Amino acid sequence: MLSAKSYAAFDASTPLGPYELSRRDPGPKDVVIDIHFCGICHTDIHFTQNDLGFSRYPLVPGHEIAGLVENVGADVTKFKVGDRVGVGCMVNSCRTCANCGEGLEQYCPTGIYTYGGDDRDGTITQGGYSTKVVVDQDFVLNIPASIPLDAAAPLLCAGITTYSPLRQWNVKPGTRVAVIGLGGLGHMAVKLAAAMGAVVTVISTSDKKREDAQRLGATGFIISKNEEEMKAAANSFDLILNTVSAATEINSHIALLARDGTMVMLGVVAEPMPVVSLPLIFGRRRLAGSLIGGIAETQEMLDFCGEHGIASDIEVISADQINVAYGRMMKSDVRYRFVIDIKTME
């Protein structure tokens, strides 16, 4: 076994703290990754607090992993020691179901998530707030040389979570895209949609992020509490990405879709949200969901970011600041992603 330092949640209510972890010895197709950085995703907070009801402790969160290959198993062909690599939300899948066959491993019924998942060896997977991780080569991604490792980490979840629906709903030059919420997911959605040539509008609860929205590539900005602005924007978007990770009123936002437009839910929200049918019926609008992206698409997203000079806007923190960062995220006080410098755990 390989020993690794980590930060773990030990129950749903106490702060995360240091935890000594064992990783499996690398099998023939495994890659051992020396983790340099790990982003903090809102899902990490949901899991540490057991908001979804199936967390198991101790729990090491983190599925925005970036680092260097430290060692490879005998049959690894895709990576060598020293390669710049990333791991996102999944570390394995069945490889035989229809979803896996279509490169949609994220919808595999027995896919294994990076933390809190049942691994093939009977252990529970542990995430990237950790100095090392051992992952099958098929679930390891190449990080382009042009993207710094710290700013690349959030691409592994926030990046692919927003890239995949932009591709699935055929965003092209001129597509009218709105992004609800300018946070970790939202700021990536704006950058990626703008790079695809879309006309991008940010919908926010206040004026505070107007300048940032512009800097990131948005040309429109709507304050959702302003009824006149909302009324003026009715029927005007082909696609709305809803990135908010809290229960909010969505019906007034669905009314902003053009005919046949789609709102895609991306933020994990444990509570139900009421949906009124009328705005969907009048306009043949759609309400949809989307979960991260497949492995091939994740590599495509990383290569796209490399070509277009896109990375996440980050605030790097030391490991002992994780709980402070969680507190600030609950108040949306981060521009736009916290990334843990994992070397501060050593």
Residues that bind Zn ion (CB under 5 A): 41, 43, 93-94, 97, 100, 108, 157
Handedness of CA 189, 309, 195, 227 (dihedral sign): positive
Question: CB of residue 214 vs Zn ion: minimum separation in angstroms?
Answer: 26
The neighbouring-strand residues paired with 92 are: 112
| Closer Cβ to Zn ion, 183 or 279, answer by number | 183
Q: Which DSSP state fits 336? A: S
Distance of closest approach, residue 151 Cβ to Zn ion, in angstroms: 16
CB nearer Zn ion, residue 223 or residue 268: 268
String of b and e for 260-280 (b: at least 16 CB within 10 Å)? ebbbbbbbbbeeeeeeeeebb
Q: Which residue has the tokens 């092209």?
A: 172
Least Å distance between CB 41 and Zn ion?
3
Residue 199 pairs with which residues in a beta bridge? Answer: 176
Quick check: 38 and 342 in contact, CB under 8 A? yes
Would you say 43 or 299 has its CB closer to Zn ion? 43
- The three-state secondary structure class of 322 is helix
Q: Quick one: 115 or 237, whose CB is closer to Zn ion?
A: 115
Give 175 or 312: the residue with its C-beta nearer to Zn ion: 312
Closest distance to Zn ion from the beta carbon of 157 (Å) = 3
Q: Which two tokens stand for residue 291?
A: 């979960």
Least distance CB 247 / Zn ion (angstroms): 18
Q: Which is nearer to Zn ion, 8 or 157 (CB)?
A: 157
Residues 337 and 223: their CA atoms lie apart, in Å, by 22
CB-based contact 100:108 (threshold 8 Å): yes
259 Rama class: left (phi>0) / alpha (psi -120 to 50) / beta: beta
Q: Return d(Cα 77, Cα 146) in angstroms, integer.
A: 23
CB 210 within 8 A of CB 221: yes
Q: How many residues belong to the chain?
A: 346
> Residue 97 or residue 246: which is nearer to Zn ion going by CB?
97
Shortest separation between residue 327's beta carbon and Zn ion, angstroms: 18
Q: Among 115, 152, 186, which residue's Cα sits nearest to residue 37?
A: 152
Choice between 104 and 194, CB closer to Zn ion: 104
Q: How far is the CB of 270 from Zn ion (least distance, A)?
A: 15
**Residue 97 C-beta: closest distance to Zn ion, Å:** 3
Tokens of 247: 């229960």
